[in-house]
């Protein structure tokens, strides 16, 4: 499977459950005979159809018709446009004209060539269930099922959560040449409770080391009074401070590493670097 930016002409993205849609233009051609996933699927369907036709099974062959797509646009028209809620308002040309401006699904209409989305779902208090009521599913916590996590929690002082931010939502390695991003945050940030910072002698903007038995990384201390004591949040995916360095190799019951959290100690490396001294430390929620 190829990254979306090289696999074909366009890629449709939904943003982390919010179901926001926009087009991402490809910027290089795919290598060799590589093709987008949808065109691979179409090729398989065409081959199966011909194979069953050769066996004289015309009824079965009918199930594999309609895959004569010429590109991702055809697959989109055949799928999303016809079957998605609000899909009739969404076209490739409209998405292309909107550029990096996305909309939240479902689409409700068009103003000019701008697709109008749904600012907030279920404002009428009715949900997509038979009786219109929301469902809250309770699940018991199974404890630190991943090997080594319990030991980490007992040995190190801080819970290190990690995730994304709006300015570099996908991957900071793609922003190494983006002055807008690097000027905002020359180093990755780690949000910390101000009381915790005072206890370990760290001030706003200081460069700190996050270290445990798995490895070490670095970030700049970002005070956030909404952070719970002994808990922190570090931006992942920065080449100047890779949060993955402190993640263990232990996997959960799905054989997946627990990428999103670990335990570690935090200690000061230096006072605020020169590149950080003019940086804003405004509350992150207020910047969105």
pLDDT tens digits for range 68-124? 999 888 998 898 988 898 999 999 889 989 988 899 999 999 999 899 999 888 888
Say what the pLDDT of residue 1 is. 36
pLDDT tens digits for range 249-268? 888 888 888 888 899 999 99
Domain 149-287 classification at class level: mainly beta
pLDDT band at 169 (very low <50, low <70, confident <90, very high): low
- Residue 113's H or E segment, with its range, is none
pLDDT tens digits for range 110-138? 999 899 999 888 888 999 899 999 999 88
Separation between Cα atoms, residue 7 and residue 27, nearest integer Å: 10
- Residue 181's H or E segment, with its range, is helix 179-184
Say what the pLDDT of residue 259 is. 86
Say what the pLDDT of residue 154 is. 95
Say what the pLDDT of residue 29 is. 85
Query: In the predicted model, is pLDDT for residue 168 greater than 80?
Result: no
pLDDT tens digits for range 196-236? 999 999 999 999 999 999 999 999 999 999 999 999 999 88
Q: Residue range 44-62: average pLDDT?
A: 95
Say what the pLDDT of residue 214 is. 95
**Among 193, 201, 205, CA closest to 276:** 205
Burial code of 192-222, b = ≥16 C-beta within 10 A, e = fewer?
A: bbbebbeebebeebbbbbbbbebeebbbbbb
Say what the pLDDT of residue 239 is. 86
pLDDT > 90 fraction of the chain, expressed in percent and rounded: 52
pLDDT band at 286 (very low <50, low <70, confident <90, very high): low
**Mean of all residue pLDDT scores within the chain:** 87
Q: Residue range 182-193: average pLDDT?
A: 91
Say what the pLDDT of residue 227 is. 92
Assessment of whether the complete model's pTM goes beyond 0.85: no
Say what the pLDDT of residue 6 is. 42
- Sketch the domain layout of the chain as residue ranges: 4-36+71-116, 149-287
Q: Residue range 52-60: average pLDDT?
A: 94
pLDDT > 70 fraction of the chain, expressed in percent and rounded: 92
Say what the pLDDT of residue 3 is. 41
Q: Under 8 Å CB-to-CB from 242, ≥6 apart: which residues?
A: 217
Considering 31-40, 190-199, 277-286, the range whose residues carry the highest mean pLDDT is 190-199
Query: In the predicted model, is pLDDT for residue 276 greater than 80?
Result: yes
Say what the pLDDT of residue 288 is. 43
Separation between Cα atoms, residue 69 and residue 46, nearest integer Å: 10
- Which pair of structure tokens corresponds to residue 199? 């206890």
């Amino acid at each position: 499977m190829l990254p979306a930016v090289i696999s074909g002409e366009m890629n449709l993205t939904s943003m982390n459950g919010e179901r926001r849609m926009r087009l991402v233009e490809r910027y290089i051609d795919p290598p060799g005979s590589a093709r987008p996933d949808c065109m691979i699927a179409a090729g398989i369907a065409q081959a199966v159809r011909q194979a069953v036709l050769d066996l004289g099974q015309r009824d079965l062959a009918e199930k594999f018709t309609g895959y004569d797509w010429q590109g991702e646009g055809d697959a989109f028209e055949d799928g999303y446009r016809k079957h998605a809620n609000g899909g009739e308002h969404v076209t490739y040309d409209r998405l292309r004209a909107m550029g990096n401006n996305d909309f939240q699904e479902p689409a409700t209409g068009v103003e000019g060539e701008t697709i109008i989305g749904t600012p907030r779902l279920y404002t009428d208090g009715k949900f997509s269930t038979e009786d219109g009521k929301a469902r809250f599913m309770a699940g018991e916590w199974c404890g630190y099922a991943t090997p080594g996590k319990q030991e980490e929690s007992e040995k190190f002082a801080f819970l290190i959560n990690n995730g994304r931010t709006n300015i570099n939502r996908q991957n900071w390695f793609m922003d190494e040449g983006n002055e807008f991003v690097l000027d905002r945050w020359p180093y990755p940030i780690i949000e910390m409770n101000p009381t915790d910072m005072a206890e370990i002698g760290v001030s706003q903007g200081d460069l700190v080391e996050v270290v445990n038995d798995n490895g070490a990384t670095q970030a700049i201390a970002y005070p956030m009074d909404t952070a719970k004591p002994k808990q922190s949040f570090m931006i992942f995916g920065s080449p100047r401070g890779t949060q993955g360095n402190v993640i263990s190799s232990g996997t959960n019951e799905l054989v997946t590493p627990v990428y999103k959290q670990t335990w570690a100690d935090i200690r000061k490396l230096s006072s605020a670097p020169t590149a950080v001294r003019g940086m804003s430390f405004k509350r992150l929620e207020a910047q969105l």
